[in-house]
Structure 1
């Protein structure tokens, strides 16, 4: 079965039209030949960019010499109003210090501690969705579930809490008005030049950050009083940088919570929604997930997640077909030679999970939904060399392990209770993450035991 993907643009188009398409949706702005190319060069009057699909190039940029290819400031401009100087945007020594403080909170033992909160969020979702008689906009529901997980694991509060609920509501408004790229992605601007963010974008980002600041300030007071719960926020806020002995101050913590919410909620919501759609149009796979869910739900503990083997492969295949973050951009800090081409200093190196995960020279049946592919030699090889939904190397997402527990768990909880069918054919587009252009509408009916 071949699930939907956006139509590619014509091979030749003007720079102005390409910029317009790119700002609207970076997926459909790309030509079909990129699913076959090892590398492609794109020139503008202001800079050059190189799409790197060859595994050797990706390994060079992400694993072998990551400090020579820092995060691009061009992409940073569009996200700065909300994310400030979060670990997602910083480079160099600032980024290293942030990771030294953040990484311990996501170590294996901490994942076991967050499991009850994930389970509670999934069970709350079942209660909320039970009795639905009309097709459900599943993206809105998975956003609700994923946000609930984040608030429960980060601040030990459910999404029904007043502040948590307001952050979630305002973030939905922000997601609707915030393009993935700002004008600075295309035109080099001095640091003092205005970035032309929409007023609504800036106002909503400021409001979200004020709410997060309120949660963070309250938690700091609880830590001082010795009454803080042992959750992710407390762990991060009390961890000292082993090299400097410093902890995050309030504003630094606001930056980090903002990216935890964006990365941990928006990306998980995207992946879970597409996974449910893929199961809705693949009934045999849905039955296999339901069978695993029945065995797991009989004893739903962290140590029994291994029972969800096929469910995990479904989630992994969803991340391949619909990677929540479709493109990542790095920048050269010196002239480089890439596949015998000279890339000048300041070139943009685009690593595209969207194209890499569907590359015709790497994957067997690249556009098809095949969860069992990871048991084959091709699947195992590509998993090592051509699968980067969480990036790779030192800058791999610190929440990757968290997501690979959360995704299969929530998928099993929902499919174990509901029989799912689709009522529309969604077309993927890229906003902050890969979403459906007109939503994903699913029928949820109680599963017959």
Structure 2
């Protein structure tokens, strides 16, 4: 059985038809030929885009010369009201300074220290889970948000402010597509960005709530009473080059992206992983058997026993990468595969296409977690697996996510069986992340 992918559109459509499809669903707008092409060019009246699937081009952009390919402002236009000048949005020296402050919080030792908080969030998710037919995506969002608040601010999702941020973020997600009109037009910085009033209001409420948490933590740090969690680590870390620390406004920007990246992406991956396990009951049983190692375990060492759960989570990330596309901009003239690319071109790197590429992955549309333990699978991963990006701009929370995902997946499958629901096949679409158009519906049954 092969997991569904969006129905490909015709290879040729008008520009405005394409833009309409792109806004509605970035995945279904893409033609079938992109799953086998090494590169494709897309022209608009204002700019040209170049989708690069060839591994050598991806390495060039992400690993070898990242400074020559800064993040494009076009994708960020739709997220700026919420994310401000966060590390997700910046480039150059500002971005480098932000990463020098943020990265130490996500080093291996720090992840181990957050492990008990992840376990507590998983236990809470198991306790909340009801039996019966249900859309699993809202509960995965709840669980992933709980992990973020417990590890970042040492508070559960039930905390008043944490719960309000979560509720407001769901409203923001419904209002805000991944692209707005400004992404397609050459607008000066002073020109209005076409954000809806509700989008701006919701973003302002979220940022106001984050401000309360940030200012409260700053007072606790000054008083010497702050818990030793991720927020404290980031707020007390000085840039080793400049000696600067994050001011309140910049810390609000960073917390906003931590919540978006750490909650929305993990929720997406967990939802699709449970769907895949519902599609393959025999694989689910293997995860459940392996998860027996979690009995009474709160120590990080247990992750060494969840190897198959990790491979299942990797395979879910391959088939349904939460961030389906990344856009860079070439700052100087380039030549890609013999084609001249003028400065200012939009360089699109698509995990969605790369992870299913017909010339890179054998049986690319099939769910096969065992592929990760083969030499062929490991080779494919080196060449064509970038769910967290790669190189200098790799997601700082990638290691965090690869602990959180397999752990929560194992805890849930150990406690419950997840089965498909007839007539409720999910259709993947992408707005902020890859989600199901009408939810992921599963029948949840407690395991004896």
Identify the residue that residue 136 of structure 1 maps to in structure 2. Answer: 134
Identify the residue that residue 284 of structure 1 maps to in structure 2. Answer: 282
What is the CA-CA distance between 1:378 and the residue it aligns to?
A: 2.0
Distance 1:430 1:168 in 2: 20
Identify the residue that residue 409 of structure 2 maps to in structure 1. Answer: 411
What is the CA-CA distance between 1:231 and the residue it aligns to?
A: 0.2
Distance 1:119 1:299 in 2: 9
Distance 2:236 2:375 in 1: 44
CA contact (8 A) 1:363 1:378 kept: no
What is the CA-CA distance between 1:317 and the residue it aligns to?
A: 0.2
Compute the TM-score of the two structures, normalised by the length of structure 2.
0.99
Distance 1:106 1:146 in 2: 17
Deviations 1:273-326 (A, max 9, x none): 000110011001000000000123253421121111111000000000000000
Identify the residue that residue 106 of structure 1 maps to in structure 2. Answer: 106
**Aligned partner of residue 78 in structure 2, secondary structure:** helix
Distance 1:284 1:134 in 2: 20
Distance 2:380 2:83 in 1: 32
Identify the residue that residue 438 of structure 1 maps to in structure 2. Answer: 438
- Within a 5 Å distance, the mapping from 1:250-399 to structure 2 comes to 250-399=248-397
Q: Kindly indicate whether residue 33 of structure 2 is the aligned counterpart of residue 30 of structure 1.
A: no
CA contact (8 A) 1:271 1:319 kept: yes
**Aligned partner of residue 287 in structure 1, secondary structure:** helix
**Aligned partner of residue 77 in structure 2, secondary structure:** helix
What is the CA-CA distance between 1:134 and the residue it aligns to?
A: 3.2
CA contact (8 A) 1:317 1:370 kept: yes
**Aligned partner of residue 144 in structure 2, secondary structure:** helix
CA contact (8 A) 2:131 2:446 kept: no
Distance 1:432 1:250 in 2: 26
User: Which residue, out of 171, 175, 178, partners 1:177?
Assistant: 175
Aligned residues: CA RMSD: 0.8
Identify the residue that residue 248 of structure 1 maps to in structure 2. Answer: 246
Identify the residue that residue 65 of structure 2 maps to in structure 1. Answer: 65
CA contact (8 A) 2:116 2:298 kept: no
Distance 2:53 2:243 in 1: 40
CA contact (8 A) 1:72 1:329 kept: yes
Deviations 1:210-264 (A, max 9, x none): 0000100000000000000000000000000001111000000000000000000
Identify the residue that residue 165 of structure 1 maps to in structure 2. Answer: 163
Deviations 1:337-362 (A, max 9, x none): 01010111110000000000000000
CA contact (8 A) 2:81 2:203 kept: yes
**Aligned partner of residue 435 in structure 1, secondary structure:** strand
Identify the residue that residue 86 of structure 1 maps to in structure 2. Answer: 86
Distance 2:152 2:296 in 1: 27
Identify the residue that residue 121 of structure 2 maps to in structure 1. Answer: 121
Q: Kindly indicate whether residue 227 of structure 2 is the aligned counterpart of residue 229 of structure 1.
A: yes
**Aligned partner of residue 78 in structure 1, secondary structure:** coil
Alignment gaps of 5+ in structure 2? none
CA contact (8 A) 2:38 2:52 kept: yes
Alignment gaps of 5+ in structure 1? none
Q: When the two structures are aligned, how many residues end up with a matched partner?
A: 446
User: Which residue, out of 128, 147, 150, partners 1:149?
Assistant: 147
- In the TM superposition, structure 1's runs of 4+ consecutive aligned residues that sit over 4 Å from their partners are none
